[in-house]
Amino acid sequence: MPNLNPQQRLAVRHIDGPLLVLAGAGSGKTRVITHKIVYLIEQCHLSARSIVAVTFTNKAAREMKSRIGQLLTKGESRGLVVSTFHALGLNILRREHEILRLKAGFSLLDAQDSRALICDLHQQEFSSGGEESSFQWQISTWKNALVTPEEALCRASNDQEAIAAQLYAAYDRRLRAYNAVDFDDLIGLPVHLLTTRPEILSRWQNYFRYLLVDEYQDTNAAQYQLVKYLAGVRGAVTVVGDDDQSVYAWRGAQPENLHQLKEDFPQLTVIKLEQNYRSTTRILRVANQLISSNPHVFEKRLWSALGEGDSIRVLTCRDEHHEADRVVAELMYHRFKYRTACRDYAILYRGNYQSRPFERALRAHGIPYVLSGGTSFFERGEVKDIMAYLRLLANEDDDNAFLRVANTPRRGIGAVTLEKLAGYAALRGQSLLVSGFELGLGEHLSGEALPRLRRFCEWVVDLADRGRRGDPIAVIKDLIADIDYRAWLDENCNDRRTAERRMANVEELVGWLERLYQRGDERRALGDLVAEISLQDILERTQEKKDRDAVNLLTLHAAKGLEFPYVFMVGMEEELLPHRTSVEQGTLEEERRLAYVGITRAQRSLCFTMAEKRQQYGETILCEPSRFLSELPAADLQWEREGIPRDPAERMERGQVHLANLREMLRQ
């Protein structure tokens, strides 16, 4: 461990009892986790299969596993579990599904499927609609807080909460009828099992002998309980986190979980990582000063050996368009002067809508950029179609999937047929697919409707049977060929190029399933593939954004965990950062943490910008500087207002930049 500092070595070698590693931004927390896993295997002689490392994103899990693979000799890491919380929960549910009365091929509903189900239930139960998003958020909040439908109904303090609680109960019943779980169940149901079944708790505690958790400040109540139960009385757990970087309260994250550890594990040891390997001293001084205004249970102060660094500039602009033009001009000048790459720059903002002027300005100068966010791969219609087919093959009780694909592509099974089938299935208390085979259905359907429906159901059952007995990838390819999905896209897309792009997405999905099937030595059934791929963020695998030489445009939330040599933090104004809603709701501390996250993304230089006025809802509003700017050390800020005379040499350089950029654009 020669490349670790003294505090990092302490954290790696501490195995006697629970450990909290309070890791500041850029302090090498991933290095600590990976080296500790190696230490547990090589020095403590723990089997890799008995170690589990948990984080929040697939990208982080892949990076961690890759680093561990480089540190261990071949074969030493076999069986090591490095996964997200939800993938770990899915693993537990797969093994314990019978106790929860789930069949082996249970479906996993995504956010859109859940919302559609809640919408359907709301209309059925209350003959109204339009509030499904708020109900979906409330149900998810209850699940993450481990509140049951019965408890939610007892706690309801008004009619709206009572309706939400009733919907929650109906939604839960419908999930069980569909042999399905939603994303929140992947944590809640395992916690329920570990809480109520001592023999299951004992089995999993013995299976995982050591637990490591990354980004612990982002855990919600359910995730905290999962960690607590798996760690058990032995307290064989290391959690790594930073309460100053907890910015996901809207997603249920509870930074107080760091403090709760001390209550649940009195023997807890705390080790602080305060040396920052990312940023200059000036950037860290500004960050430390800002976050010192927040209350702390665990005090820490970041420091760096990378030198003082440049002054932090504050640019005052006329409006949002002038702000964008000025940032892009500064970026172009800096690139020209220091011969840097586009990927070295990041423009960070509070809300997605703030990116538009910057996109316009970058396009106007022919500067490539990467915009975070956008439509998820799995939210695209063609991908949802194929995934719905696969979910139905894996789970015959998945009525949501049945309804999506029964007439996609069109096969003469219309809305009236499906409505009558649903009514009959409800009377019989069984799934739509099973009901499609019953003789009694003939009393409800006439003409060609019944044989068309039967042919579809028989085809599904045949494919599902082949998927269970043979090669699931061959079955998937046959499915796409049978429905002639390419022709369906050609018919329904506005142009040939769109149809080809959407078909390419389908082919990418199949290719990824095939790679998943061939990975490792464990044979995966179709249901396993469907469950695994539903958890993945395919954007991280299919888009090579990090390899593109492009300016990074992203929100402060999306920037967490990343770093860039040169950072522009834009929109440093009251009601933007801090956001007006947060000020009204009294969550100013989280907004300060968000600003802290933005500042600590910068490695070499940091520039703030603010506008004197902005367009909002068609009106021009006057802006005030963010209160956070006044909390920073004045000596480290260099305010630059428009109209200040520039050095003649700098004016000449900037003119050369403009001409060089024009010539470059003409060559393209």
Tell me the average pLDDT of the chain: 86
Which member of 9, 13, 30, 613 is catalytic? 30
Q: Could you tell me the pLDDT band of residue 277, with boundaries at 50, 70 and 90?
A: very high
Residue 540's pLDDT is 41
Check whether residue 81 and residue 147 sit in a common domain: no
Residue 543's pLDDT is 42
Which member of 7, 29, 350, 420 is catalytic? 29
Check whether residue 569 and residue 649 sit in a common domain: yes
Binding-site residues, in ranges, read: 23-30, 278
Look at residue 285 and tell me if it is in a domain: no
Q: Is 196 a catalytic residue?
A: no
Check whether residue 114 and residue 155 sit in a common domain: yes
What pLDDT digit, counting tens, does each position of 447-491 carry? 888 999 999 999 999 999 998 888 889 999 999 999 999 999 998
Lowest-confidence range among 226-240, 305-319, 349-363, 644-658? 644-658
Look at residue 296 and tell me if it is in a domain: no
Residue 62's pLDDT is 85
**pTM for the full model?**
0.76
C-beta separation of 32 from 53 below 8 A = no
Check whether residue 486 and residue 611 sit in a common domain: no
Instruction: Please name every residue paired with 616 in a beta bridge, in sequence order, or none if there are none.
Output: 619
C-beta separation of 160 from 138 below 8 A = no
Check whether residue 119 and residue 256 sit in a common domain: no
Look at residue 406 and tell me if it is in a domain: yes
What token pair was written down for 471? 């090669």
Which member of 182, 215, 528, 591 is catalytic? 215
At residue 317, the 3 state secondary structure works out as: strand
Residue 545's pLDDT is 47
Overall average pLDDT of the 305-323 stretch: 93
What token pair was written down for 664? 């470059």
**Residue that terminates a domain, selected from 494, 523, 543:** 543
Residue 646's pLDDT is 59
Which member of 132, 214, 218, 323 is catalytic? 214
Question: Rounded to an integer, what distance in angstroms lies between the CA atom of residue 79 and that of residue 49?
Answer: 4
Look at residue 287 and tell me if it is in a domain: no
* Residue span of the structural domain in which 466 resides: 378-543
Phi, psi of 523 (to 5 degrees): -75, 130
Q: Is 143 a catalytic residue?
A: no
Give the DSSP H or E segment for 60: helix 58-71
Residue 522's pLDDT is 60
**Residue that terminates a domain, selected from 543, 576, 603:** 543
Q: Could you tell me the pLDDT band of residue 415, with boundaries at 50, 70 and 90?
A: confident
Quote the number of domains for the chain. 4
State how beta strands 345-349 and 564-569 pair.
parallel
C-beta separation of 591 from 551 below 8 A = no
What token pair was written down for 452? 């068309």
At residue 449, the 3 state secondary structure works out as: helix
Residues 6+ apart with CB under 8 A from 402: 392, 431, 432, 433
Check whether residue 329 and residue 402 sit in a common domain: no
Check whether residue 480 and residue 601 sit in a common domain: no
Q: Is 245 a catalytic residue?
A: yes
Look at residue 217 and tell me if it is in a domain: yes
Angle among Cα 183, 185, 190 to the nearest 5 degrees reads 130
Give the DSSP H or E segment for 210: strand 210-213
What pLDDT digit, counting tens, does each position of 389-400 carry? 999 998 888 888
Q: Is 285 a catalytic residue?
A: no
Residue 116's pLDDT is 81
Q: Is 214 a catalytic residue?
A: yes
Check whether residue 535 and residue 488 sit in a common domain: yes
Q: Is 631 a catalytic residue?
A: no
Count of Cβ atoms closer than 10 Å to residue 460 Cβ: 21
Residue 544's pLDDT is 43
Look at residue 143 and tell me if it is in a domain: yes
Q: Could you tell me the pLDDT band of residue 615, with boundaries at 50, 70 and 90?
A: confident
Question: Rounded to an integer, what distance in angstroms lies between the CA atom of residue 319 and that of residue 324?
Answer: 9
Sign of CA dihedral 33, 37, 43, 44: positive
Question: Residue 541 pLDDT more than 50?
Answer: no
Phi, psi of 293 (to 5 degrees): -75, -15
Check whether residue 512 and residue 428 sit in a common domain: yes
Question: Residue 251 pLDDT more than 80?
Answer: no
Check whether residue 171 and residue 198 sit in a common domain: no
Check whether residue 78 and residue 221 sit in a common domain: yes
Which member of 36, 335, 592, 601 is catalytic? 601
Binding-site residues for ATP, in ranges, read: 23-30, 278
**Tokens 């799995």 correspond to what residue?**
378
Look at residue 279 and tell me if it is in a domain: no
Question: Residue 643 pLDDT more than 70?
Answer: no
Question: Rounded to an integer, what distance in angstroms lies between the CA atom of residue 553 and that of residue 542?
Answer: 19
Q: Could you tell me the pLDDT band of residue 160, with boundaries at 50, 70 and 90?
A: confident
What DSSP character marks residue 646? P
Look at residue 506 and tell me if it is in a domain: yes
Question: Rounded to an integer, what distance in angstroms lies between the CA atom of residue 43 and that of residue 13?
Answer: 9
Which member of 245, 254, 280, 417 is catalytic? 245
Q: Could you tell me the pLDDT band of residue 552, with boundaries at 50, 70 and 90?
A: very high
Residue 453's pLDDT is 92
**Residue that terminates a domain, selected from 483, 510, 543:** 543
Q: How many CA atoms lie within 13 A of 557 on its CB side?
A: 14
Check whether residue 81 and residue 208 sit in a common domain: yes
Q: What is the CATH number of the domain that holds 362?
A: 3.40.50.300
Question: Residue 599 pLDDT more than 70?
Answer: yes
Q: What is the CATH number of the domain that holds 149?
A: 1.10.10.160
Percentage of the chain modeled with pLDDT above 70:
90
